[in-house]
Structure 1
Amino acid sequence: MTWIADIIVDVPAMQTDQPFSYEVPDHLVDVVEVGLRVEVPFGNGNRHIQGFIVGLRETLETEVELKAIIGVLDLHPVLTHELLALADEMKETTYSYKITCLQTMLPSVMKSSYTKYVTQTDKALPKIIEEELFLGLAEIEWEQAQESPHFAELLRLKKTGHVDIRYEVTTKNKVKTKRVLKKVMTNEQLQAERENLRKNAVQKWRLLSFLLEIDEAEHGIKEVMETHDISNSAINDGKKLGWLTIEEREVYRDPYALHQFKKDEPLVLNSEQQEALDTMKESMDASKSDVFLLEGVTGSGKTEVYLQAIAHCLAKGQTAIMLVPEISLTPQTVTRFKKRFGDDVAVLHSGLSQGEKYDEWRKIERKEASVVVGARSAVFAPLENIGLIVIDEEHEGSYKQDETPRYHAKYLAIWRGNYHHCPVLLGSATPSLEARARAQKGVYRLLILNERAVSKATLPIINIVDMKLEMKNALSTSFSNQLLEKLKERMEKKEQSVLMLNRRGYSSFVMCRDCGYVLPCPNCDISLTLHMDTKQMKCHYCGHEERIPYRCPICDGDKIRYYGTGTQKIEEELKELLPDARVIRMDVDTTRKKGAHEKLLKQFGAGDADILLGTQMIAKGLDFPNVTLVGVLNADTALNLPDFRASEKTFQLLTQVSGRAGRGDKSGEVVIQTFNPDHYAIQLAKNQEYEPFYQHELKLRHRGNYPPFYFTTQLVVSHEEEHLAAKKMFEIVHFLKGFLSPNAIMLGPTPKSVARMNKRYYYQTVIKYKNEPELSKGLKVILEESQKEMRNGLRITIDMEPQHFI
């Protein structure tokens, strides 16, 4: 009898997007399991790569001679049968390779890397190569070979069989350990040892004194050395003399080790909250895979409903996932869950180090955590027996991944809900039109919270300022008179304010007033943004940086001026207009360092600042009772973008940021500055009128044949040569027309809004359709062809239901 393993190998290509059969060696028969990572030979015998076991079978004999598994890379399976099935779903719905889907599910430190070697064969090498590189060795690393002036000759020798290339799987040491000591001798023996010490043996005296003081428990060597001034050599001597033992212990990197979370108790729910919770409990108890849409105004206590629903899960011995958009995964959110569920909570998000993410993942995998709180990728948490999945701010576009595989966490969560026969709860003050339409049709179950949870809390009063009128009055700053006066009032009352401008940097662009030249990015079709703190011009697309110009490179004029406004410039204006104001700025630039986000919010929560200024990262998830004023400096940032969701995103952002005001006993006020005061998105956001907005936007979507009435697929082609990108895009459109019915609508081909990024030109086509059963077949052919095109420098991407069209 022979055991055969079906393995998906780490070669993302159409030809290899299938399981390969490998023989399981006798010494690994009792070790291998489905879901394990293994090292296998692939192609010629010198290439070793990583693979995932997706199936095991026993057979009497094999028709062909199979290669054998070299070794296993894990002690236990890293992917469950459920996650392997989910990878199949992702592969089909995102048009990705299965190996890419499998690797997306795991922490990045678990992705194997490969070391490449040049190996000498039996044939004699030319003397100069032997002396220059091999020096009697059988092989050398590829990087070392590349540095040799004889590298080209080495490649020629490969063709003649003198040398070969060998690949080896390299796995990182991902586990953190600490050295611990434990005393071995009894106190009487240790006392005798100390009495026999020489007088000058100070270090050994300290060590023996320490051992006499402690019990039998383990003690970290590093801590012992620091707190008792004992040297490492003394501890090693103690081991040799039999006083103690030294062992390595695995430890978790806990990102919240220095935090103390005082356990809190569930709050008393109002009637709306209780009704929503009871409805969900009924579904959980009946093991139904219902999808609920919890629509609640800002401050209506949606999070408390989530917490109590999850508590119901845990009481039943089940687990739960809580997804939050990365942008609003604030320390406040984590704190609420840690206070309620303590060490039962594992957190997964991009703010953690790779080691911390890995350790949090291991806590989940080892069943040491029952509740997972995290951003998009936490949907892959290896939990078993899931009883509830919650997706807060379900309308957020960040739940859709922009890179391959282009999955949407919401739909994968619903898939997992069906698998576990458990409900999925989507929550938002401003649900996406797609989710709200499904609720209206009965596909989702609608739950509504109309009241704020705090008894005295009311929705803030919203004032809209027409900036066109302000400009007529020769406004010289970014602040209207109304907003400036209200900021002063809050400072006098010792209350706090939040200011949002969805644009970082100092100025949007730099222009010469003599000839009109705008400093562009050399790699992208977009102007560079001025960042005054680093005295640099930066591209927010490719990361290019260069110094600030003081003379025009075209006309040599010196009238270089800054135009547009970013958060840095607003901060500078505040210092001039309100010199006594204490301002905290939060944007990508100020929160780059690990822990900076939390530090700034902690300062603001402690009352160390009067004004919190930031981009849209401050619009969600913040709950500060002393914030009574919110100012939106420019509501038009996203309003006129060439995207059919522009109005929806503007309405959602204004509603969300307005909800930061008046969340406690004090009433709140909002000032929205705009050049489009009559636009329906702004007018309806004024009183958080979601239903009228939904109905109005729905009519426009129906008229334009957009979601939720139509599905959309976006195809993008890019190349360093514009004409080649355009030509390929036209060929794809012509090809796809053979798979589409007359009812499908094709937009394009056209250049993307930013046609050139990072030295590549982008062309796109968008397909709108209701039911096109043959489209999938055509897209799979394009995916297969895309691999061949990569050799020519072409890149082709397929994005199902894209969230951005720019």
Structure 2
Amino acid sequence: MFAQVIPAKRGLARLPFFEYSVPPELEKNISVGQLVKIPLRSKYELGVVRSLHATMESTRVKSIEEIINPTPFFSPYQLAYLEDLSILYRTSLGFLVKNNLPEFGKRRLESFKQITLSPFTLYPSPPAKPKITTYANTEEKKSFFNQLLAKPGQTLIIVPEIPDIEALKKLLPKNLEKIICVTSDLSVKAIYEAMLDIRIDEKKIIIGTHRAFFLPFFDLQTIVIDDDSSPSHKSWDMAPRFHNRDAALILAKHHGARLHITAHTLSVETYYFAKNEIYELSGDIIPPLRPETTIVNMADERRGGNYSIISEELAEAIKKTTQSIFLFINRRGTLNYVACRDCGEVLNCPTCHRSLTYHQPTSTLECHYCRYKRAMVASCPKCHGTNIAMYGAGIEMVEQEIKKLFPDDKREIIRIEQDEKNLKRVDASRAQIIIGTQIAWHHLDWSNFELVALVDTDTSLFVPEFKMVENTWHLIRDAIYRTPPTAPLLIQTGHPEHIIFQAIPQPELFYTQELAQRKMFGYPPYNFLLKIFSGHSSEQLIKQQAEHLYRLFLQLTKNDPDIKITANLEMFPPFYQNKHWQAIIVKLNYKNYKRNIKLLLEKLPEGWKVDLNPSSILSA
């Protein structure tokens, strides 16, 4: 007898498993999904049995050394799910299997051998359509989840970020004992215990982030993706770079689980699929959020002689408050970029070419990506003129303006930008002025705020990336949802005519225009996007590789009108992490898109990265 075994370690994507012979004494006990000990190169490793067969062409193979536990740790459904991810995202299957296992030390492995695992006896039913449920407030959200958790089987709830777990738990019944939270922050011991509890069906409700997709589910029947339109559902910095919604669809298919998508604001894709009855809709497609939102036209402020980042209307609103307020601006530093008024030269990072941010406290220019830092310049490095100007207010500038406008305000000002250390200073029992970037958004208790203001929402509106406007839409709708009904919400913009602001009282306007633009350019939901990219220290070499790959893809797909390939392009920044970057964008019709992705990825050289359903087209 022979077995295909997946080593539980990172390997090459094109070598997902190896053949081993099964010793006669193990033949009666071996089965698919078991954890086994195998010789690999010069040492022993753990692996998972993928399949068994009676014969093979070559008999010169190594033998399985030991079955670690007689009962399979993996269900066939979870193995099939991991294989799908491995193929679609060009990720080592061994790496995915390793992530789906606890970290075994010697003592823990010996203990695991003695644990009694329940055998898998359930057979998945064909999955139904994903079901969409929207909510307008926390009470509606609470009602949905309390009804959902009464269902049988295991329930997996995926939230965008770790702080969202605690916020969700507050809405659930206090007496829930069979609940467990799984994130990348868990210790080795905690993840070991969590995986065992899930495998033996001790825990029925799993709440987690991206990490929770890699668990040994025993009886998974319900999956929930909450806050559907949050950009944090997309993994962009490490493989596999999946969107949680896409991973949930694959997981639901293999386990026969029902997928629920919940949100106060739907993503553009989910909205389209609901409108066209590809997904089942329960309730309103756009729930009515609180209408009391004030748009402040900063162009009028400039015409009136106010050049401060704080409008007169916002200043008056702050003056009326005595409790905590939250001012949001998603830019670090004092000013966003520095330029010469004479020749137009912008001071950029010499490594990645992004604009340098001015920090007044240290009088330095800094790159927040490469950590490059230099002293502020007195003259232009290009034309040597002294007419240097600074643009785009950052969080430090907002703090300075608040201190200048309200010198007698006794409330403590807390600035939250680069990391979470200042979050410890936030005290719900005291009145504070909190000025924060995106890092503060999910960590704060919004119910304490007497006023919320989005100080500058214009930065991302004109960035040439197809999802930037949608991300801003989600940010504004999320602010409306989170702000207490009794607290004013002010949004400052220099472009009140933009569809984002026009659509606040009529959300359908945003979706109608956004879908029209995406249809014109062939972007999701009208096509599936695949981004293939790579970097190299040699600009010439990576460009040659990209051009060769582009020609190869054209040849492979020349007779298929459902596949459109864009010529290789330079990414932004073009030079990052000491490498020059090139990307190829592929648009695939949803018909047979998985088959076509596999066709292209089979020819992909090692070292090239894959991003399905990317958040950006050219950003590195």
TM-score, normalising length from structure 1? 0.66
Residue 48 (structure 2) aligned to one of 32, 43, 52: 52
Trace 1:19-418 onto structure 2 (pairs within 5 A). 19-24=18-23, 26=25, 34-43=32-41, 46-56=42-52, 64-70=59-65, 78-106=73-101, 109=103, 171=105, 289-297=128-136, 299=137, 301-313=139-151, 316=152, 318-326=153-161, 329=164, 331-337=166-172, 340-402=174-236, 403-418=238-253
Tell whether the 8 Å contact from 2:363 to 2:375 is kept in structure 1 after alignment.
yes
Tell whether the 8 Å contact from 1:552 to 1:558 is kept in structure 2 after alignment.
yes
Q: Report the CA distance between 1:529 and its aligned residue.
A: 3.6
Corresponding residue of 2:567: 748
Corresponding residue of 1:276: none
Tell whether the 8 Å contact from 1:38 to 1:69 is kept in structure 2 after alignment.
yes
Q: Report the CA distance between 1:357 and its aligned residue.
A: 4.0
Structure 2 residue 602 is the aligned partner of structure 1 residue 607: no
Corresponding residue of 1:444: 279
CA change 1:359–1:490 in 2 (3 A) is: farther
Tell whether the 8 Å contact from 1:35 to 1:79 is kept in structure 2 after alignment.
yes
Q: What amino acid sits opposite 1:570 in the alignment?
A: V
Q: What amino acid sits opposite 2:90 in the alignment?
A: Y
Task: State the alpha-carbon separation in 2 of the partners of residues 486 and 727 from structure 1.
Answer: 58
Tell whether the 8 Å contact from 2:249 to 2:259 is kept in structure 1 after alignment.
yes
Task: State the alpha-carbon separation in 2 of the partners of residues 288 and 610 from structure 1.
Answer: 49
CA change 1:576–1:79 in 2 (3 A) is: farther
Corresponding residue of 2:15: 16
Tell whether the 8 Å contact from 1:372 to 1:381 is kept in structure 2 after alignment.
no
Corresponding residue of 1:627: 449
Corresponding residue of 2:419: 590
Secondary structure at the counterpart of residue 527 of structure 1: coil
Residue 583 (structure 2) aligned to one of 764, 770, 782: 764
Deviates more, 1:623-632 or 1:710-719: 623-632
Deviates more, 1:402-411 or 1:354-363: 354-363
CA change 1:23–1:62 in 2 (3 A) is: farther
Task: State the alpha-carbon separation in 2 of the partners of residues 463 and 537 from structure 1.
Answer: 35
Structure 2 residue 534 is the aligned partner of structure 1 residue 717: yes
Q: Report the CA distance between 1:480 and its aligned residue.
A: 0.7
CA change 1:99–1:463 in 2 (3 A) is: same
Structure 2 residue 612 is the aligned partner of structure 1 residue 800: yes
CA change 1:776–1:552 in 2 (3 A) is: farther
Q: Report the CA distance between 1:470 and its aligned residue.
A: 1.8
Q: Report the CA distance between 1:639 and its aligned residue.
A: 0.9
Tell whether the 8 Å contact from 1:25 to 1:69 is kept in structure 2 after alignment.
no
Corresponding residue of 2:465: 643
Q: Report the CA distance between 1:586 and its aligned residue.
A: 3.3
Q: What amino acid sits opposite 2:526 in the alignment?
A: F
Q: Report the CA distance between 1:727 and its aligned residue.
A: 2.0
Corresponding residue of 2:258: 423
Residue 546 (structure 1) aligned to one of 359, 365, 373: 373
Residue 404 (structure 2) aligned to one of 576, 580, 591: 576
Q: Report the CA distance between 1:483 and its aligned residue.
A: 0.8
Deviates more, 1:373-382 or 1:516-525: 516-525
Secondary structure at the counterpart of residue 748 of structure 1: coil
Q: Report the CA distance between 1:5 and its aligned residue.
A: 3.3
Tell whether the 8 Å contact from 1:630 to 1:660 is kept in structure 2 after alignment.
no
Tell whether the 8 Å contact from 2:19 to 2:61 is kept in structure 1 after alignment.
no
RMSD of aligned alpha carbons: 3.7
Secondary structure at the counterpart of residue 38 of structure 2: strand
CA change 1:552–1:745 in 2 (3 A) is: same
Structure 2 residue 501 is the aligned partner of structure 1 residue 682: yes
Corresponding residue of 1:120: none
Corresponding residue of 1:727: 544
Q: Report the CA distance between 1:327 and its aligned residue.
A: 6.4
Tell whether the 8 Å contact from 2:90 to 2:601 is kept in structure 1 after alignment.
no
Secondary structure at the counterpart of residue 636 of structure 1: coil
Corresponding residue of 1:468: 299
1:439-492 CA-partner distances (Å, limit 9, x unpaired): 122121112259999xxxx7141111121222234434321111111112122x
1:277-307 CA-partner distances (Å, limit 9, x unpaired): xxxxxxxxx996331111333x263431342
Q: How many residues align?
A: 598
Corresponding residue of 2:118: none
Tell whether the 8 Å contact from 1:174 to 1:355 is kept in structure 2 after alignment.
no
1:666-690 CA-partner distances (Å, limit 9, x unpaired): x2321111121100112212x2x32
Q: What amino acid sits opposite 2:149 in the alignment?
A: A
Q: Report the CA distance between 1:98 and its aligned residue.
A: 1.9
Larger radius of gyration: 1
Secondary structure at the counterpart of residue 786 of structure 1: coil
Task: State the alpha-carbon separation in 1 of the partners of residues 97 and 367 from structure 2.
Answer: 33
Task: State the alpha-carbon separation in 2 of the partners of residues 63 and 104 from structure 1.
Answer: 31
CA change 1:30–1:501 in 2 (3 A) is: farther
1:193-243 CA-partner distances (Å, limit 9, x unpaired): xxxxxxxxxxxxxxxxxxxxxxxxxxxxxxxxxxxxxxxxxxxxxxxxxxx
Tell whether the 8 Å contact from 2:337 to 2:392 is kept in structure 1 after alignment.
yes
CA change 1:482–1:759 in 2 (3 A) is: same
Task: State the alpha-carbon separation in 2 of the partners of residues 508 and 448 from structure 1.
Answer: 43
Work out the percentage of aligned pairs sharing the same amino acid: 24
Corresponding residue of 1:485: 316
Corresponding residue of 2:120: none
CA change 1:89–1:490 in 2 (3 A) is: same
Corresponding residue of 1:238: none
Of structures 1 and 2, the one scoring higher in RCO (CA 8 A, sep 6+) is: 2
Tell whether the 8 Å contact from 2:338 to 2:346 is kept in structure 1 after alignment.
yes
Tell whether the 8 Å contact from 1:326 to 1:349 is kept in structure 2 after alignment.
no
CA change 1:406–1:780 in 2 (3 A) is: farther
Task: State the alpha-carbon separation in 2 of the partners of residues 424 and 698 from structure 1.
Answer: 24
Structure 2: stretches of 5+ with no match in the other structure = 116-124
Q: Report the CA distance between 1:371 and its aligned residue.
A: 1.0
Corresponding residue of 1:262: none
Q: Report the CA distance between 1:535 and its aligned residue.
A: 8.0
Corresponding residue of 1:214: none
Task: State the alpha-carbon separation in 1 of the partners of residues 416 and 79 from structure 2.
Answer: 40
1:50-96 CA-partner distances (Å, limit 9, x unpaired): 4332234567x996243123456779755332211101221232233
CA change 1:101–1:530 in 2 (3 A) is: farther
Task: State the alpha-carbon separation in 2 of the partners of residues 485 and 748 from structure 1.
Answer: 53
Secondary structure at the counterpart of residue 737 of structure 1: helix
Q: What amino acid sits opposite 1:42 in the alignment?
A: L
CA change 1:536–1:350 in 2 (3 A) is: farther
Could you say which structure has the higher helix fraction? 1
Structure 1: stretches of 5+ with no match in the other structure = 111-170, 178-249, 251-285, 788-794
Q: What amino acid sits opposite 2:47 in the alignment?
A: G
CA change 1:699–1:752 in 2 (3 A) is: same
Task: State the alpha-carbon separation in 1 of the partners of residues 474 and 212 from structure 2.
Answer: 24
Q: Report the CA distance between 1:331 and its aligned residue.
A: 3.2
1:399-442 CA-partner distances (Å, limit 9, x unpaired): 23223222232133233334444421111222112111111221
CA change 1:21–1:778 in 2 (3 A) is: same
CA change 1:71–1:432 in 2 (3 A) is: same
1:697-735 CA-partner distances (Å, limit 9, x unpaired): 222222332221222222223221222222222222222
Tell whether the 8 Å contact from 1:623 to 1:660 is kept in structure 2 after alignment.
no
Task: State the alpha-carbon separation in 1 of the partners of residues 413 and 166 from structure 2.
Answer: 20
Q: What amino acid sits opposite 1:761 in the alignment?
A: H
Task: State the alpha-carbon separation in 1 of the partners of residues 139 and 562 from structure 2.
Answer: 44
